[in-house]
Amino acid sequence: MQKIISAIVADIGKVLLGKEHQVKLALACLLARGHLLIEDLPGMGKTTLAHALAQVLGLSYNRVQFTSDMLPADILGVSIFERDSGQFRFHEGPVFSQLLLADEINRSSPKTQSALLEAMEERQVSIDGETRQLPEPFFVIATQNPLQQSGTFVLPESQLDRFLMRISLGYPTREAERALFQGVDPRVQLAQLKPRINIEGLKKLQSLVRQVKASDSLLDYLERLVQHSRQSPECAVGLSPRGALALLHAARAWALIHGRGHLLPEDLQAVLPSVAGHRLQSDGVDGSQLVERMVHQVDIIAA
C-alpha cells in the first residue's frame, strides 16, 4: 500500500513540481472522503493538480467552469423529451463523475452553488422527484480566486464548512520553476500519467484511513486544540464538532500517507491549517494566522 501511495505522490509531483506538501494534503483530503477547495491565483496549477489526481487515481473526471449565468441544471443534468422514444430521458450533468473540478465556484449564483454543495454533502442528486446516486467515489475539487472579488458570490461559512480542506498552492520555488522551464511540458506529462490504483484499491485505502489508531493522549491534544479555538478571545467562532471530526479524519489520512498506523501530534499539526483555516473566524485576522498561533500556544502533552 505504502508503495502505491508514494508512487501516486511521485507521479503527481512530476506534473506539479515542488508542491509535494500540497499534493499530499489533496490526497489526504480525498482519502478522508472530503472535498477540497483550492484558493489561489490563476495559473498556479489548480487545474493541473485536479487533473493529475484524476489520472493517477483512475477516476472519471469532469470540469465545470462556473459563470454567473449558470443554472443548477447545467451541473446536475436535465430531463429532455425524446421524440424517438416518446419519453423523457435524463441527461446527466457534469456532476455525475468521480472527480469534479468546479472551477471558480464563487463566480456562479448562490442558487447554483448550493445545488452543487448539496450534491457534495448528500452524494446524491434529486431531480424531477427522482433521487439519483452519484458515482462512488465522488470528489469535488473547487477552486476560487481570492482576488478580483467583484462580481463574485462569496461562499458563506456554512458552505465553506462542506469542504474538508482549503489549500492554496502558492508560487513554486526557484528550483522547481527552473525544472519546469527545463523539463517536458507538464501537459504532455499529464497525458502520459497512468492510473496507479483502481476503484477497489482506493476504497481499500479509504477504509484503512478509518483504522488509523488515535490514542487517548492524542485525542486529549485534539480536545485542547478545539477548546482553545472556542475559548480564545482571538477567535470569534470556534471549531464546530464537525470541524473537529474533519480534523481527526484528515489527520488519519495524513498519517496513512506517511505510513503510520497511529496518529502523532505532527499529523494534526500538518493538516490543521488546511482543515481549520477556513472554519475559524475572527475580526480582521486570517484564519490561517489564527491556526498558526494556536499551534504554538496549545501544549501537546499537558494542559
Partner 1 sequence: MNAANSQLRTLLPRESLLWIFAAQLAVLLPQFAHLPLWLVGAWCLAVYWRLEVFRGRREMPGRLVKSIAVLLAIAGLALTYRRWFALEPMVALLAVSFTLKNIELVSRRDALLSLMLAYFLAATLFVFEQTIPYALYGILCTVIITAALAAQQGRASARPQRALSMSAKLLAQAVPVMVLLFVVMPRLGPLWAVPQNGASATTGISDSMSPGEFSQLSKSAKPALRIAFDGAVPPPEQRYWRGLVYTHFDGRRWSEPGVSDGFSHWSRGRSRLQRGAESEEQPLPAVGPRYRYRVIQEATHSPWLFAMARPNSKTRGVRETPDDTLVYKMPVANRLAYEVRSWPRESISGQDELTSWERRRNLQLPPAGNPHARQWAEKQIARGLQPEQISGELLDLFHQGFTYTLRPPVLGADSVDEFLFGTRQGFCEHFASSYVFTMRAAGVPARVVAGYQGGEWVEQEEYLLVRQYDAHAWAEIWLTERGWVRVDPTAAVSPERIRDGLQSAAADEFMEDSLLPLHKIGFVSRLRLQWDMINYRWYQTVVSFDSERQQGVLQRLLGEISPLRLAVFMAAPIILALVVLLIWLNISSRGPRLPAASRQYLRFCRRMARAGLARNPGETPGEFAHRVARELPRLGPMAAHITAAYEKAAYAGDPAAEKQLRRLVRSFWPMRIIR
Q: Is 269 in the site for partner 1 (CB under 8 A)?
A: yes
Residues sharing a CB contact under 8 Å with residue 104, sequence separation 6 or more, in sequence order:
65, 66, 143, 144, 145
Q: Is 301 in the site for partner 1 (CB under 8 A)?
A: yes
The interface region with partner 1, picked from 58-66, 73-81, 101-109, 264-272 by CB under 8 A, is 264-272
The interface region with partner 1, picked from 53-61, 159-167, 282-290, 295-303 by CB under 8 A, is 295-303
Q: Quick one: which H or E segment has residue 3?
A: helix 2-15
Q: Comparing C-alpha atoms, which of 202, 87, 207, 102 is closest to residue 159?
A: 102
Q: Is 91 in the site for partner 1 (CB under 8 A)?
A: no
In whole angstroms, the minimum distance from the beta carbon of 231 to partner 1 comes to: 14
- For partner 1, give the closer residue by CB, 37 or 270: 270
The residue behind cell 491565483 is 41
The residue behind cell 473537529 is 244
The interface region with partner 1, picked from 40-48, 90-98, 157-165, 215-223 by CB under 8 A, is 215-223
Judged by CB under 8 A, the chain residues 237 through 256 that form the site for partner 1 are none
In whole angstroms, the minimum distance from the beta carbon of 251 to partner 1 comes to: 11
CB 127 within 8 A of CB 165: no
Q: Comparing C-alpha atoms, which of 194, 289, 209, 216 is closest to residue 252?
A: 209
Q: Is 216 in the site for partner 1 (CB under 8 A)?
A: yes
CA distances from 136 to 30, 151, 271 (A): 12, 34, 25
In whole angstroms, the minimum distance from the beta carbon of 125 to partner 1 comes to: 41
Summarize as ranges the residues that interact with partner 1 (CB under 8 A): 213, 215-218, 261-266, 269, 295-303
